[in-house]
Structure formats: C-alpha cells, structure tokens
Structure 1
Amino acid sequence: MTDTTRVAVIGSGHMGGAMVGRLRTFGYPVTVWNRTRETAEDVAARTGATVAGTPREATGTSDVVLVSLSNDAADLGAHEGRDGIVAGLRRGTIVVDTSTIDPHTTLRLAEMVRGAGGVHVDSPVSGSVSAVEAGTLTVLAAGDADDIEQARPILDKLGSKVFHIGPTGTGATMKVAINTLLIAINQGLSEAYVLAQAAGINPALAYDVFEAGATGAPFLKYKRAVFEHPDDTPVAFSLDLVAKDADLVLALAERVGVPMPQALANKAAVAAALDDGYADKDISTMAKHLRELRTRSSRG
C-alpha cells in the first residue's frame, strides 16, 4: 500500500475530519462523505480532499474505506441501501470501521461487507483529535490477522500502537471497556478539581498535583487546557456522544452480567448535564456543570 492508495473517509466530524487531514499529509488521495455535505466541504477545503455525494460514490473509487460515524444507526445507514458503502464495494476493498458502536452491530456490518466481497476490519481507536493529528492513536484492530495486515499501512499512519484484540467484535467490545474507564476518569477528575477549588486550593496548583501523582494519566495531560478554559477550546468528545457511549457500556454490562454501579452514576451525571443544555459541550465541561450545580445549591 503506497501513497497512491485511494482512501474514502465516511464521516467527517471531529475524528473523521482529523483523519482526512492526517492522511492528506502523507499524500493519500482522499474522498470524504458526510451526512451534512457542508461539513465534508469544509474538511475538503482545508485538506484538498474530494467530496462525494454518497457513501457508494466514495467507496467505488477507493481501495480503503475508513468509517468514523457517531452511532450505530448512522453506521448502518451509511452501509445499507443503493447509495451505501456495501453497494459501492469492489472485491477486496478494505473497510476499516473506527466508529464506537455496539459489538453486535459490528458483527452485522462485517457480515454485510464480507458478503459483498469486501474485507472488514473492526478497528475503533482510542485517543483525541490531537492524537489523530500526531498519529499517536491507540488502534483496537479486530478480525482476521491477514485482513488487519492489509489495513496496517493506513492504521500505522493514524496510530502509534496497533493491537490485534481478537476476532471481529472484540475491537468494539474493547472500545466500550475503554470508554467505561474514560468516562469514570473524567468524572473523577471533574469532581476532584472542583472540590479542591471550592475548598480554597489554587486550581492550577491542584491540576499540577493531579498530573504529578499516582493519578497522572495521559488523559489529564491532554485535557488540561479544556479543564482550565472550558469555553475557549474546541470540542473533542461531545457530551451527547459520551451519553451514547455510556448506554453502550450499560448494555454490554447487562448482556454479560457485570454490575456497574459507577457506570450507572456516571451515566446519571452526564444525563443531568444534557438536561442543562450541555449536549454539544466537551466531556471536560462536566467540571463546569458541577460548579453550576454548586452555585444553584448555595442559592437554594
């Protein structure tokens, strides 16, 4: 696979748009499709990519199709129908699905792609937009080892670590597990940060300590700017998508019979923020929401 490999990116939101930019820096010809065409056109204007009118059109001219969509319904919708990905597949076209979706949906999509002669790699990613731009994502690849190797030249451009998790569906499962922890870390950091500040600790100093001690996960390092300036930093992981992922966590937990008391509490906290109009805000603004709840409580 060389820089003449033609790539389609289906979905040009925060992560998909960053993937387009990353691949274009290596000279890959990229065609992009998005449900809102204006979004795709904005990404194309910044990167020099080409805009397609349908997923089928984008897929039909590409060797590799990267899918980055917000939820199960969007992913299924992009694959199905006469204008979908499956309709545009040529034999051997590689479909790499990086979306965070239910493992059952992943299995269904893989069957559709393979039934049409394509190659399917279940490959969610862990990391932020900045990680895409730097090529330091963690890639959770699942499926046949030979299929993953076919996709590896593209995966290696996006991630610094590519794990083969197991058979199809285990990549999606691993991503749900990761986001269980990610949501918990964010909620814990939000509460600790606001608690320290409310009790009289300088917030910048508190964050220094959080980063330096046993709690200093990479998440704290790349989220510092948005915690300190929640209204001035681009959104990387919006709370409406956090809520969707929290539902995926609880659905998987129910299927496998694992009690998840913290995940339930975190889901409730996110739901309260959505009720207060935070759907399009970054996950880190849970700290801001806690401050607002404290202010309301002190007034009431």
Structure 2
Amino acid sequence: MGAQRIGFLGLGAMGSGMAKRLLAAGFPVSVYNRTTAKAQALAEHGAVVAPSPGEAVAGADVVLLSLATAEVVEELLFTSGALARAGAGAVVADMSTVSPAAAQASAARVRAAGFGALDACVLGNARHAGDGELRFMIGGDESDVDKARPVLEVLAKEIVHLGPNGKGATAKIALNLIMGVQMQVLAEAVVLGEAAGLPRGRLIEMIAASGYSSPVMRFKSGVMARRAFDRPDFRLSLMRKDLRLAMDQAADLGVSLPATAASLEVLTAAVEAGHGELDCAAILLQVEHG
C-alpha cells in the first residue's frame, strides 16, 4: 500500500512547515490556502496546488486543517462542500485552535458524513513543524488516531490521545493560556527593570538564563531584545483569541482565571492599538506605552 494521500487546508507558518515535512517524507499532498501565493510556494516542494478546498481534499485519506478560527474551518470544510469530496473512510484531523464546543460540533458533523474526526491540536512553532518536533494533543476515537498515526508521526515527537473529541482543544487552550500570561509577565519585568535603570539587553539575558525561564520565554526574550515583532511566529491577535477561548470556557465551567483575565485585557488593548498582526512578544509595546 502506498503512502496515505493528504489534503491540507491552511498554509500559515505552521501549516507550511508541516506540509513541507510531509512532502519530504514522500506523502502525496494537495494543498489549498486562501492566499494563493502561500500555496504556490509549496509547488516547488512537490505539492499539488488546488484551486479550491474541495479539489485539495478530493480522494484524500487524511485531511489536515491548520486554520485560524472556527469560522474559517466552517467556511473551508463545510460551506465550500469540501468534506464530501474526501476519500472513503478518510480521517479529518483539525489542528486549528478552537473552543472545545466548536471542536465537538465540527467532529459530529464530520462523523455524520461518514468520516473520522480528530481535534489534533499542536504545541510548537514553525521550526518544530518543519523538523517534525511538534507535540500533538488529540481528542477523538482511538481507531481514528491509529488511522492518522502514520501521518502524525512524521510531524510529531509526541502524540497524546486524551479522550473523546474536544479534549485536544481543551488541552491546547489550557496550555496556551500559560504562554499568554508568560508573555505579559516577561514584558512587565523588562519594563520595570529598564525604568529602574537596568540595561535592557543585560536584563533580558539574565531572565532568559534564569531558572524562572522556559523554552518559550527564552525564545521570546530574544524577540523582545531584538524588537523583531514584524516577523511573527505567533500573532498577537491569535494569542488574544486563545485567551478569550480560555475565559469563555472558564465561564462555562464556573472557574476563575484572574491572571488570564488580566493578560487578556492587555492583549485586547494591544490589538486595539494596532499591534494584532505583530508577534505576540509585541505585548511589550503595550506594556511600555499602555
């Protein structure tokens, strides 16, 4: 049996890295992106660039989604009619960060159409995507995880099946709120130290090397030190969206998240100030001038 055929919708920094990785591993990959130039860039790596979502997923064994919001998932997978064109018995693995309720609702529609459905959420950045070092947190039936595993294993250094649909989305939101709060705290530490006369560069170096740091904080410390906010690895607007999802779920569960709420308030102000398309480390700009 040959390699599974893959239909890939969504070619941002993460999606492009994953698609290249799969092509290099010998999988036949058809891609679609609403911004055509991003899809065309993959043609030289062997991807079939489809003119529509339906063409991209036609006959696919595994459909991968890496999209910004639940609304875009709705548009490309369902409204376009693409889902109906997937191959018989295909598994749809949605790697988008959406609410658990949206993940469950989408999965129910996918299963009703006769396909497998996973919320296959990922931890990592674009470099991890290209190097096959992502961590997958998955909700869905174990049999569907097994069907998609040959594809996921090319992309991942860890695959964790957490239970039914919605559990992968829940884990992603819980972990992403840590990043959002970390960026806020990092920015505040830099602004406080600099206001007190500490050299910005030296302070950031000490934070990054300290026991208080983490891999993501070390990475984003460098972004803040260089003020390289216009080459986003993860857009500030998406960070705000993810913390909003966390607060919405907390409200549904009757859980209080005061640190997350405070970070969301500053992220919202940063988006309103025009920083939404910058890297999430640009929260520093809002803390500096807010």
Q: Which residue does the alignment assign to 2:169?
A: 172
One-letter identity of the residue aligned with 2:57: T
Q: Which residue does the alignment assign to 1:60?
A: 58
**Offset of 1:13 from its aligned partner?**
1.3
Supply the distance in 1 between the matched residues of 2:229 and 2:262 (Cα, whole angstroms).
28
Supply the distance in 1 between the matched residues of 2:103 and 2:265 (Cα, whole angstroms).
27
1:195 to 192, 196, 207: 192
1:98 to 83, 90, 95: 95
Whether contact under 8 Å (2:209, 2:218) holds in the other structure is no
Q: Which residue does the alignment assign to 1:11?
A: 10
Q: Which residue does the alignment assign to 2:181?
A: 184
Q: Which residue does the alignment assign to 2:275?
A: 278
1:128 to 110, 125, 128: 125
Q: Which residue does the alignment assign to 1:32?
A: 31
Q: Which residue does the alignment assign to 1:298?
A: none
2:137 is aligned with 1:144 = no
Q: Matched residue of 2:8: which SS?
A: strand
**Offset of 1:197 from its aligned partner?**
2.4
Task: Tell me how many residue pairs correspond in the alignment.
Answer: 290
Whether contact under 8 Å (2:236, 2:267) holds in the other structure is yes
Give runs of aligned pairs for residues 40-55 of structure 1, distance below 5 A.
40-42=39-41, 44-45=42-43, 47-55=45-53
* Percentage of identical aligned residues: 33
Give the TM-score taking structure 2 as reference length: 0.94
Whether contact under 8 Å (2:54, 2:82) holds in the other structure is yes
Supply the distance in 1 between the matched residues of 2:122 and 2:259 (Cα, whole angstroms).
23
Supply the distance in 2 between the matched residues of 1:198 and 1:15 (Cα, whole angstroms).
36
**Offset of 1:171 from its aligned partner?**
0.4
Q: Which runs of 5+ in 1 are unaligned?
A: 294-300
**Offset of 1:214 from its aligned partner?**
2.6
One-letter identity of the residue aligned with 1:230: R
**Offset of 1:58 from its aligned partner?**
1.2
Supply the distance in 1 between the matched residues of 2:151 and 2:222 (Cα, whole angstroms).
30
2:157 to 156, 160, 166: 160
Deviations 1:179-230 (A, max 9, x none): 1111011111111122222222233332332233331211123323312222
Supply the distance in 2 between the matched residues of 1:132 and 1:148 (Cα, whole angstroms).
19
One-letter identity of the residue aligned with 2:196: A
Q: Matched residue of 2:275: which SS?
A: coil
Q: Which residue does the alignment assign to 2:255?
A: 258
Supply the distance in 2 between the matched residues of 1:233 and 1:281 (Cα, whole angstroms).
5
Whether contact under 8 Å (2:208, 2:221) holds in the other structure is no
One-letter identity of the residue aligned with 2:6: V
2:107 is aligned with 1:116 = no
Deviations 1:98-151 (A, max 9, x none): 000011111111112111221111111011112112221111011111211221
Mean CA deviation greater in 200-209 or 187-196: 200-209
One-letter identity of the residue aligned with 1:58: A
Supply the distance in 1 between the matched residues of 2:43 and 2:278 (Cα, whole angstroms).
25
Supply the distance in 2 between the matched residues of 1:243 and 1:51 (Cα, whole angstroms).
31
Whether contact under 8 Å (1:96, 1:121) holds in the other structure is yes
Supply the distance in 1 between the matched residues of 2:216 and 2:252 (Cα, whole angstroms).
29
Q: Matched residue of 1:121: which SS?
A: strand
Deviations 1:259-295 (A, max 9, x none): 11111111110111112110100001111332234xx
Counterparts in 2 of 1:207 and 1:37: CA distance versus 1, 3 Å: same
Mean CA deviation greater in 155-164 or 195-204: 195-204
Whether contact under 8 Å (1:135, 1:160) holds in the other structure is yes
Whether contact under 8 Å (2:59, 2:86) holds in the other structure is no
One-letter identity of the residue aligned with 2:162: I
**Offset of 1:46 from its aligned partner?**
5.0
Q: Which residue does the alignment assign to 2:71?
A: 73
